[in-house]
C-alpha cells in the first residue's frame, strides 16, 4: 500500500518513511508495545497470575535498555534525521533514552508495592507509565514542532493520570487537578509560541517553519541581516516558557511543590526525574539547535533564570518542613544547575568539562539525579506517614532504628542529591561548575555555590530527622520489613552512584 501511494504522489514519495526510519525508533515502538501487553495481560490473565504484569514490564524495559545500549540501527552515532526530518537522532538522544528507561524501571519497582497497599490497579499504572516513557523518548528526538508537541502532549496526558491516580486520596486528586491546570497552561504557552514562530517565519518564505533545521537556518540568516521580527522572539520566549514549565524553572516552578507533594510518591519520583529530564533535554535541544543563532539574546535570559531558579529552589526548600515538598523544591534548584549548564553552552559554544560536552554533562547530571531521587524515594515510599501527610515533619523520625538499610538508602540518596563525593551527584555538579568557570559566568557560579551551601542545611536536616531517637513508642515505630527486591535495588543504586561517579571522572 505504502509503495503504491509513493508511486503516484511525488510529495508522499519524499515523505514516505523508509524501513530504516522505523528501525531507528524500534526502542520506542517496543516500549509502546509493552504498554499494550500490560493492558492485555490485565484483561486475559487469571487473577493469580496478575503479579506477572509488572515483571513483564520490567523485563521488557531492561531488554529495551540493553537494546538501546547495543550498537544497532536504532543508535545513530552521528546526527541522522529520519521520517523526512520529523525526528533526529544522535548519541546524546540515545543517552537520554536511557534516563527515561531507567526512570520508568525504577518507578515500576516503587509503584508495585505502593499501589497494592492502596488497592489501586497495578496494570493500568504500568500501561500509562510505559506510554509516557515512549512519548518522552520520542520527544527528545523531535526535529519538528509537530512531533515535539504531539509527544509532549501524549506524555502530559499520561502524567495527569499518574498524578491523580489514587482516586480515594484527596491529596492525589488535588495534585492531579493542579497539574492539569498548570500543564494546560504550559501547553497553551508552548502552542502559542509555536504558532507565532510558524507564522512569523512562514510569512517570509521558510518552506516548513515548524522544522527545527529550517528554523535554525532562517534564524541564522535573519540574525546576520538583523531582521528577526519581534514576533519570532516572542514565540521563542513562549516556547522556552512552556519548556521551563516541564523543567520546573523559575518563574514556572510554582506548581512543583504542590503537585510533587500530593502525587503518589512513585509518580513524584517519575515526575521529578523523567519529566524533568524531558524538560532539560528539550531545552538543550532547542537552545543549541534551532535557536542557536540567537544564543546571544538567549544567554542572558537563561542566565538570569538559572540564578533565580537556583536561589528560589534552595531558599524555598529551606523554608519547608514536609520532606516531599523540600525535595521537590530542591529539584527546582537542580533545574537551575541544568539551566546553568545550558547557559554555559550558549555563551561558550563547544564548552567542555573533562572532555564532556554540554549535552553529555546534562545526561550525566540527569542520571545522577535519577539515582539520588530513587534512592531517597525508596525510603519515603516505605513510610505511610509521609503519603498520608500525617505529621509530615516527624515522619522520618527514628528511621535509622526502624530500618538501617532504608536510612542508609536515604543517606546515599540525599548525599547524591547534595553532591557529596564520591557520589556521581558530586561529579555531575563538578562538571557543571567547570563549564560555568570556563564560560566565565561568575554570577551563576556564585549562585550555584551559595545554593549548594544552603542546600546542606535542608538535606542535612532530613538526615538528622532520620537519626533522631523516637520520643514516643507508638506502633508506627515498629521495625520495617524490607522485601528482597528493594534491598537489591538499594544496593544496586548505591553502587551505581559511587562507581558511576568514578567512572565518569576517570573512565575516559
Partner 1 sequence: MDTFPATLLALAITAPIFVGLILLAGRDLPRSFASGFAFGGFAIPAVLGPWLLILWSNPSTAPQQFQSEGFWGFGFALNGLGAPLLAMTSLVGLAAGIKALTQEVEGRNTYLGLILFMLGGTLAVFGTNHLVGFYFFHEFALIPTFILTLFWGGEGRRPAAMQMAIYLTAGAMASLAGILIAIDASGVEYGVATFENVAQGLQNAKSIPAATGALVLFGLGTLASLFPFHSWAAPGYSAAPTPVSMLHAGALKKFGLYGIILLGLSSLDITGGSLGTWFLWFAVANVVLVGLICLAQRDLKQLLSWSSVAHMGPIFLGIWVCGVSGKADGLDAAAFLMVAHGLSCAALFLLANAVRARAGTYRLDELGGLATRTPILAALFIAATMASIGLPGFGNFWGEVGVFLALRAQPLWLQALVASTVILSAVYALRAVASTFFGPASEALEKRFASAPFGDLGWAERFAAFVLLGASLTIGFVPSLITKSVNPVAAGITTFSQHNAKAPVKAAPAVPTQR
User: Cα(492)–Cα(228) distance, rounded to whole angstroms?
Assistant: 51
Position 234 contacts partner 1 (CB under 8 A):
no
Beta carbon nearer to partner 1, 110 or 430: 430
Counting residues that bind partner 1 (by CB under 8 A) gives: 34
Q: Does 464 bind partner 1 (CB under 8 A)?
A: yes
Is-contact 260 228, C-beta < 8 A? Answer: no
Longest CA–CA span in the chain (Å) reads 80
Nearer to partner 1, 214 or 486 (CB): 486
Closest by Cα among 60, 45, 54 to 485: 54
Does 470 bind partner 1 (CB under 8 A)? Our answer is no
Site map (CB under 8 A) of partner 1, residues 336-355, x = contact:
-----------------xxx
Nearer of residues 46 and 507 to partner 1, judged by Cβ: 507
- Give the residue, chosen from 426, 428, 444, 496, that forms a contact with partner 1 under the rule CB under 8 A: 426
Window contacting partner 1 (CB under 8 A); options: 282-290, 333-341, 462-470, 473-481: 462-470
Contact present, 77 and 21 (Cβ < 8 Å): no
Does position 213 interact with partner 1 (CB under 8 A)? The reply is no
Secondary structure (H, E, C), 138-198: HHCCECEHHHHHHHHHHHHHHHHHHHCCCCCCHHHHHHHHHHHHHHHHHHHHHHHHHHHHH
Least CB distance to partner 1 at residue 502 (A):
7
Query: H or E segment at 297?
Result: helix 295-318
CA angle 122, 136, 68 (to 5 degrees): 90
- The contact pattern for partner 1, residues 398-417, with x = CB under 8 A and - = no contact, is ------x------x---x--
The distance of closest approach from Cβ of residue 449 to partner 1 in the complex, given in angstroms and rounded to an integer, is 4
Q: Which three cell numbers mark 255?
A: 506548581
- Three cell numbers written together for 412: 546515599
Q: What are phi and psi of 205, to 5 degrees?
A: 90, 20
Q: Which residues contact 492 (CB under 8 A, 6 or more apart)?
A: none
- Could you tell me the three cell numbers for 360? 553529555
Shortest distance (Å) from residue 412 CB to partner 1: 11
Q: Does 321 sit near partner 1 (CB under 8 A)?
A: no
Residues 427-456 that bind partner 1 (CB under 8 A): 430, 433-434, 437-438, 442, 445-446, 449-450, 452-453, 456
Question: Taking the complex as a whole, how short is the minimal distance between the CB of residue 329 and partner 1, in angstroms?
Answer: 18
Residues at the contact surface with partner 1, assessed by CB under 8 A: 353-355, 404, 411, 415, 420-422, 426, 430, 433-434, 437-438, 442, 445-446, 449-450, 452-453, 456-457, 460-461, 463-464, 467, 502-503, 505-507
Amino acid at each position: 500500500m505504502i509503495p503504491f501511494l509513493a508511486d503516484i504522489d511525488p510529495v508522499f514519495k519524499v515523505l514516505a518513511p523508509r524501513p530504516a526510519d522505523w528501525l531507528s525508533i524500534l526502542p520506542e515502538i517496543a516500549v509502546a508495545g509493552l504498554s499494550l501487553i500490560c493492558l492485555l495481560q490485565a484483561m486475559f490473565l487469571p487473577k493469580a497470575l496478575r503479579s506477572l504484569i509488572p515483571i513483564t514490564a520490567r523485563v521488557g524495559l531492561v531488554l529495551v535498555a540493553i537494546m538501546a545500549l547495543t550498537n544497532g540501527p536504532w543508535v545513530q552515532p552521528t546526527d541522522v534525521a529520519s521520517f523526512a526530518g520529523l525526528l533526529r537522532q544522535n548519541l546524546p538522544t540515545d543517552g537520554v533514552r536511557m534516563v527515561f528507561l531507567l526512570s520508568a524501571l525504577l518507578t515500576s519497582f516503587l509503584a508495585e508495592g505502593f499501589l497494592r497497599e492502596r488497592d489501586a490497579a497495578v496494570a493500568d499504572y504500568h500501561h500509562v507509565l510505559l506510554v509516557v516513557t515512549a512519548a518522552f523518548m520520542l520527544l527528545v528526538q523531535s526535529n519538528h514542532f509537530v512531533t515535539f508537541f504531539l509527544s509532549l502532549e501524549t506524555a502530559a496526558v499520561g502524567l495527569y493520570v499518574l498524578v491523580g491516580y489514587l482516586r480515594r486520596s484527596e491529596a492525589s486528586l488535588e495534585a492531579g487537578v493542579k497539574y492539569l491546570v498548570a500543564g494546560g497552561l504550559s501547553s497553551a504557552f508552548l502552542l502559542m509560541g509555536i504558532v507565532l514562530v510558524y507564522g512569523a517565519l512562514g510569512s517570509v518564505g521558510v518552506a516548513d517553519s515548524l522544522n527545527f533545521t529550517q528554523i535554525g537556518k532562517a534564524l541564522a540568516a535573519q540574525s546576520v541581516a538583523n531582521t528577526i521580527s519581534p514576533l519570532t522572539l516572542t514565540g521563542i520566549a513562549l516556547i522556552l516558557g512552556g519548556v521551563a514549565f516541564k523543567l520546573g524553572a523559575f518563574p514556572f516552578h510554582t506548581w512543583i511543590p504542590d503537585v510533587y507533594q500530593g502525587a503518589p510518591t512513585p509518580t513524584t519520583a517519575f515526575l521529578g526525574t523523567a519529566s524533568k529530564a524531558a524538560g532539560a533535554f528539550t531545552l538543550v535541544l532547542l537552545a543549541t539547535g534551532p535557536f542557536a543563532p540567537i544564543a546571544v539574546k538567549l544567554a542572558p535570559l537563561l542566565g538570569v533564570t538559572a540564578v533565580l531558579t537556583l536561589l528560589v529552589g534552595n531558599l524555598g526548600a529551606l523554608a519547608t518542613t514536609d520532606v516531599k515538598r523540600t525535595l521537590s523544591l530542591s529539584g527546582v534548584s537542580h533545574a537551575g544547575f541544568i539551566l546553568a549548564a545550558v547557559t554555559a553552552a550558549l555563551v561558550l559554544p563547544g564548552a567542555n568539562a573533562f572532555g564532556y560536552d554540554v549535552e553529555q554533562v546534562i545526561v550525566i547530571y540527569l542520571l545522577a539525579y535519577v539515582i539520588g531521587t530513587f534512592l531517597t524515594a525508596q525510603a519515603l515510599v516505605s513510610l505511610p506517614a509521609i503519603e498520608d501527610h500525617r505529621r509530615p515533619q516527624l515522619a522520618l523520625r527514628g528511621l535509622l532504628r526502624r530500618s538501617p538499610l532504608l536510612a542508609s538508602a536515604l543517606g546515599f540518596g540525599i548525599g547524591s542529591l547534595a553532591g557529596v563525593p564520591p557520589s556521581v551527584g558530586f561529579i555531575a555538579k563538578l562538571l557543571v561548575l567547570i563549564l560555568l568557570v570556563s564560560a566565565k559566568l561568575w554570577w551563576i557560579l556564585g549562585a550555584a555555590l551559595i545554593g549548594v551551601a544552603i542546600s546542606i542545611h535542608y538535606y542535612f536536616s532530613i538526615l538528622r530527622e532520620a537519626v533522631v531517637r523516637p520520643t514516643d513508642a507508638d506502633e508506627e515505630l515498629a521495625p520495617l520489613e524490607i522485601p528482597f527486591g528493594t534491598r537489591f535495588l538499594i544496593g544496586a543504586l548505591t553502587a551505581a552512584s559511587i562507581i558511576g561517579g568514578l567512572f565518569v571522572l576517570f573512565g575516559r
